[in-house]
Structure 1
Amino acid sequence: MDGELFPRERAEIAPGAVHLPDWLGPRAQRELLAACREWARPPAGLRTVHTPGGGTMSARQVCLGLHWYPYGYARTAVDGDGAPVKPMPRWLAELGRRAVSEAYGTPPEQMEEYDIALINFYAGDSRMGMHRDAEEKSRAPVVSLSLGDSCLFRFGTTSSRGRPFRDVPLRSGDLFVFGGPSRRAYHGVPKVLPGTAPPGLGLDGRLNITLRVGGLGP
């Protein structure tokens, strides 16, 4: 944010968990938002996710590459309209590898190809409970990009949904990467801060674009 007293800096939140503020500039944010709006259109568009226990996730979701549902992956929107999932764009996969390279200093050519994207839309009252990204066979880092309203991102340990955890404010354009010993850490979003999106972005609410390597085979 312009004019703040202490500019935000790169921070390691836990071993293998790195926060890079303002990683996406205004133009890149607008371009990614425009792409998300296209992906959210049917078929296999933005949907409400229902859990096996009868609950409903307050954040709505669209998937690329493979379709995530509680708790697995499919090639069609099995809990939506049943249409084939949209493909993972090459440019988005490359963005994921560049994110990991800048977070860890690893050459992109040494990384696996990112082949799954989960895009969650949070309205002002949406939340995400503590959970682990555990359906993938690959241990490649998870890449998380934020657009729109700021949020509190809660990052815990691999052993418990409860304490200890850290609440990290994430703003539009921020990058968060977690891998290595933190790859299976519990994390969630306890709060979205409505009205905090950049005025020029044109988004009410928050979009979280999460990139993953499935390692699930053909």
Structure 2
Amino acid sequence: MTGELFPRPPAEVAPGAVHLPGWLDAGEQRRLVESCRTWAKPPAGLRTVRMPRGGEMSVRSFCLGWHWYPYGYARTVVDGDGAPVKPFPAVLGDLARRAAQAAYGAPCTAPYDIALINFYDATARMGLHRDSDERSDAPVVSLSLGDTCVFRFGNTGTRTRPWTDVELLSGDLFVFGGPSRLAYHGVPRIRPGTAPPDLGLTGRLNITLRVSGLDDSAGH
């Protein structure tokens, strides 16, 4: 990120898992935050996710393109207001393709069609999990906006160690595919008050872009 005292170099955290600090400039970040505010409005807006055993996730979420619920995808918010999910915006598809090119030096031709957007307040967390409900092995693209988080990137076999903790700042890009596509990952900590002051965001937004590999006959 420009203006940092100690610039952070790009890093391959694990095979196929790439961290590109400061990938989004300040203008791109502001535009994405404003877009998220629009996309998050009802219907099919920001919601609290309830897990099958009755617990609630501490992050609040909304989706574009396909609606994620534990553990599948649908074209409507089946665990919320029942409204049709909002379309997947072309601007996010372009971002996903640019991100894959930046991370791997080669384009990803798969059609990105899911945005899962999580909002973290100061106390929100995300347990270790795998993004395994898709029918595609295309890389997952993760964009961070707002407060810094500790992002825990683990292995593909277990929720236990080994893992690597990476600080993701506003504007950072993290892409994971190939041998790391099904690695466990989560967010054990948010660092409140670390968002860029001119972003106008309290908390953290995480925009995760995926390729579903689904057609409408696969949705519920």
**Aligned residue number for residue 13 of structure 1:** 13
How much has 1:91 moved relative to structure 2? 1.3
**Aligned residue number for residue 209 of structure 1:** 207
For 2:106, the aligned partner's letter is T
Q: How is 1:183-202 mapped onto 2 (pairs within 5 angstroms)?
A: 183-202=181-200
How much has 1:134 moved relative to structure 2? 0.2
**Aligned residue number for residue 39 of structure 1:** 39
For 1:148, the aligned partner's letter is G
**After superposition, what is the alpha-carbon deviation per residue over 1:53-103, rounded to whole angstroms, capped at 9, x for unaligned?**
111100000000000000000000011100000000111111101100110
**Aligned residue number for residue 170 of structure 2:** 172
**Aligned residue number for residue 127 of structure 1:** 125
Distance 1:93 1:21 in 2: 20
**After superposition, what is the alpha-carbon deviation per residue over 1:3-50, rounded to whole angstroms, capped at 9, x for unaligned?**
51x310100000000000000000000000000000110000000000
Distance 2:192 2:112 in 1: 31
Structure 1 residues 3 and 210 mapped into 2: Cα distance closer, same or farther (>3 Å)?
closer
For 2:213, the aligned partner's letter is G
| SS at 2:197 equivalent | coil
**Aligned residue number for residue 148 of structure 2:** 150
**Aligned residue number for residue 95 of structure 1:** 95
Q: TM-score, normalised by structure 1?
A: 0.97
**Aligned residue number for residue 71 of structure 2:** 71
How much has 1:212 moved relative to structure 2? 0.1
| SS at 2:32 equivalent | helix
Distance 1:47 1:147 in 2: 19
| SS at 1:68 equivalent | strand
Distance 2:45 2:215 in 1: 24
Distance 2:162 2:7 in 1: 26
Structure 1 residues 13 and 3 mapped into 2: Cα distance closer, same or farther (>3 Å)?
closer
Distance 1:152 1:3 in 2: 18
Gaps of 5+ in 2: none
| SS at 2:48 equivalent | coil
**What fraction of aligned residue pairs are identical, expressed as a percent?**
68
Distance 2:173 2:199 in 1: 17
How much has 1:107 moved relative to structure 2? 2.9
Distance 1:129 1:9 in 2: 27
| SS at 1:38 equivalent | helix
Please provide the CA RMSD for this pair: 0.8
For 2:146, the aligned partner's letter is G
Q: Aligned residues, how many?
A: 215
